[in-house]
Amino acid sequence: MKASTFVYPWDVVGDPAAAELIAGLGVRQVTLASAYHSTRALTPRHPRHRIVTAEHAAVLYPVGERWEGRTLRPYAAGEWAPGDAFGEAAEALSSVGLEVHTWVVLAHNSRMGAEHPSTSVVNAYGDRYPWAPCIAQPATREYLVDLAVEAAVRPGALGTELESLGWYGISHLHAHDKTGGVGLGDAGQYLMSLCFCGTCRDGYEGVGLSADALAAAVRDALEPVWRGEVADEGWASVEKLLGAERAAGTRVWRDGVARSLQEAAVTAVRAAAPSGFQVLLHADPLTYRCGANPGVDASHILEVADGVVVPCAGGVGAVAAFAEARAAAAGPVLAANFPVVSGMGGSPATLAEDAVRAASVGATELRLYHVGLASDGDLGVVRGALAEVG
């Protein structure tokens, strides 16, 4: 199977050995970040630095003229990725024969939420999530679609992978995060991710739900979660806690918002891209899930995009769910995404076995997260695994 690894520009820029090292692993493609959220990243082999601190969400290339005069606009990167860091890294990677695809993070932006609080998701208690733009708001949707186009269709890129193109919620790997004291499970995650900003309140009313009554019901439903009394059963638990009719009503609003945004973004990217440009979405087949891999309807999204990148840290079941829908579509990509950094919970030692298992349930490609963060030891194991699976 074709394999690609995720890479940051700062893994490559300033390190003349990086591109050859990545190509030598046996991957054919790199998924190179062009728009990314804030992070603190290790660079264990770079000759100039060991820690890169990306202080805020930013585009990793010069901000385009399309944003002049607009309130919501992407931020330029600071010293962690100055100038056209993406372009410089892409050129180095292409020069050693690697295909370059863009990696675009969309509805995940803490700086935008801090500077424009009204754009953020608001939970049933009135708490804002500054890292999570509400994708129902018209101005935010316009921003996300335009960012998808600009960050995806970069010079030299043959395709793109769009991350967090859907609802983002409570889940967020924040610095010094202290939210793990109560196990929320799928049900708590969903209920704590429901948005009650003005746009979403109107949306609930439009599908026959009183926004005030719904918010009160969500707060009541969460009480047993806070007491640790819920045995999580996925969506069935949401229905038990909130009531089946109310739960279904929230999905009518939220699913329609997400689907229309995904359709608009993919259509806009294709219109701006050269022929043959591949558009994939990071996605989860459980449609109620939020986050970097937002839930999607598998049959719908495989008709909209050229395929999906599927998280496989917990197994390949999500790949199998997409594969069931794949037969009705025109050969979309199903890329199984495996973490390969052992210090971050990945398992490079089982990569060959995992790849075979993924292929057996329908995966057509591999994604590796992520060689820039991995130790030399992990990379050696990855190299051997890719040689084994061909």
Q: Which residue has the higher pLDDT, 228 or 327?
A: 228
- The amino acid present at 375, given as its one-letter code, is S
Which of 70-79, 158-167, 173-182, 304-313 is the least confident region? 173-182
Please answer whether residues 249 and 155 qualify as being in contact, where contact means their C-beta atoms are separated by less than 8 angstroms.
no
Q: What's the whole-number mean pLDDT along residues 71-89?
A: 97
In terms of Cβ atoms closer than 10 Å to its own Cβ (0-12, 13-18, 19+), residue 22 is buried
Please tell me the class of the 2-179+258-389 domain: alpha beta
Asked if the model's pLDDT at residue 329 lies above 60, the reply is: no
Q: For a pLDDT cut of 90, what percent of the chain falls above it?
A: 92
Measured distance CA(320)–CA(225) in Å, rounded = 30
pTM: 0.96
Question: Among all chains, which residue has been given the structure tokens 């090292």?
Answer: 21
Asked if the model's pLDDT at residue 265 lies above 60, the reply is: yes
* Chain-centre distance for alpha carbon 65: 26
Q: How confident is the model at residue 9 (pLDDT cuts 50, 70, 90)?
A: very high
For the chain, helix (H) and strand (E) counts, in that order, are 14, 13
Q: Which two tokens stand for residue 324?
A: 């069931």
Q: What is the pLDDT of residues 282-317, one digit of tens each?
A: 999 999 999 999 999 999 999 999 999 999 999 999
